[in-house]
């Protein structure tokens, strides 16, 4: 029956059928995704580095403030703790004593954050060290944005204060949690 069909129609159908054969795969379209190889570009990389001296549209050009530029809140300290645990604790340890896991595996030990010198250091000092590095510590400015650097600095101060805290510093209603004194909870 098909043989009976006019030849031009058959040819058209065949041509259409062939056209379907060389579909470019939709999984891999003619566009560059982040980190995709882009032959011919520098390093054959689709991801480009910004031109030297580029300033992000939302970057602050103001000089770095001398101290915490935002209000000191519990949220800021919690943010600081989370960021400290991610970026600082591998070396400085979660307690700030400077014997984190990577130090235990051989990296030179940083000074304890509870040293008298660092207890006296202004927050600006920690901000600067995070931004530019210090000694064998690399700069973290690419990994930790400015607000997080201040949050970490504030949290370091909280760690330092906590180490020298006395029971009297703890609010009355929280104290039983530390002393394990169940009777105190009953006291009106």
Partner 1 sequence: MAPLFRRRANSLAVVILVGILALLMAISVFAYVVYRSPYQTDVGYAPAQPVPFSHQHHVGGLGLDCRYCHSGAETSDVAGLPPTLTCMTCHSQEWLNAEMLSPVRQSLANRTPLRWTRVHDLPDYTYFSHRAHVNNGVGCESCHGRVDRMPMTFQAKPLTMQWCLDCHRNPSPHLRPPEKITAMGYSPRRDGIAGERLIKRYRIHPDTLLECATCHR
Residues 141-146: contacts with CB within 8 Å, 24+ apart? 143/87, 144/83, 144/87, 146/60, 146/64
176: contact with partner 1 by CB under 8 A: no
Q: How far apart are CA 144 and CA 140, in angstroms?
A: 6
Q: Does 136 bind partner 1 (CB under 8 A)?
A: yes
From the CB of residue 85, how many other CB atoms can be counted at a distance below 10 Å?
13
Q: Least distance in Å: CB of 97 to partner 1?
A: 16
Contact present, 140 and 127 (Cβ < 8 Å):
no
> Smallest distance, Å, CB 35 to partner 1?
6
Interaction between residue 31 and partner 1 (CB under 8 A): yes
In the chain, the N- to C-terminal Cα span, in Å, equals 99
Least separation in angstroms between residue 50's CB and partner 1 is: 13
Q: Does 134 bind partner 1 (CB under 8 A)?
A: no
Q: Does the footprint of partner 1 cover residue 26 (CB under 8 A)?
A: yes
Footprint of partner 1 (CB under 8 A): 26-29, 31, 33-35, 37, 43, 45, 82, 85-87, 90, 101-102, 105-108, 136, 138, 142-143
């Amino acid at each position: 029956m098909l043989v009976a069909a006019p030849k031009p129609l058959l040819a058209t159908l065949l041509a259409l059928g062939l056209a379907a054969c060389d579909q470019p795969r939709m999984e891999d379209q003619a566009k560059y995704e982040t980190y995709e190889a882009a032959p011919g570009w520098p390093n054959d990389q689709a991801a480009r580095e910004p031109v030297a001296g580029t300033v992000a549209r939302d970057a602050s050009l103001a000089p770095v403030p001398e101290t915490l530029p935002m209000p000191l809140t519990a949220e800021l300290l919690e943010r600081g703790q989370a960021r400290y645990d991610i970026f600082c604790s591998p070396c400085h340890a979660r307690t700030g004593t400077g014997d984190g896991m990577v130090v235990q595996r051989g990296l030179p030990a940083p000074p304890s954050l509870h040293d008298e010198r660092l207890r006296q250091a202004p927050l600006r000092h920690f901000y600067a060290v995070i931004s530019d590095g210090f000694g064998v510590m690399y700069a973290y400015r690419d990994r930790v944005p400015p607000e997080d650097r201040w949050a970490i600095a504030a949290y370091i101060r909280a760690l330092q204060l906590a180490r020298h805290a006395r029971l009297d510093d703890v609010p009355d209603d929280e104290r039983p949690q530390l002393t394990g004194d169940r009777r105190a909870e009953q006291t009106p």
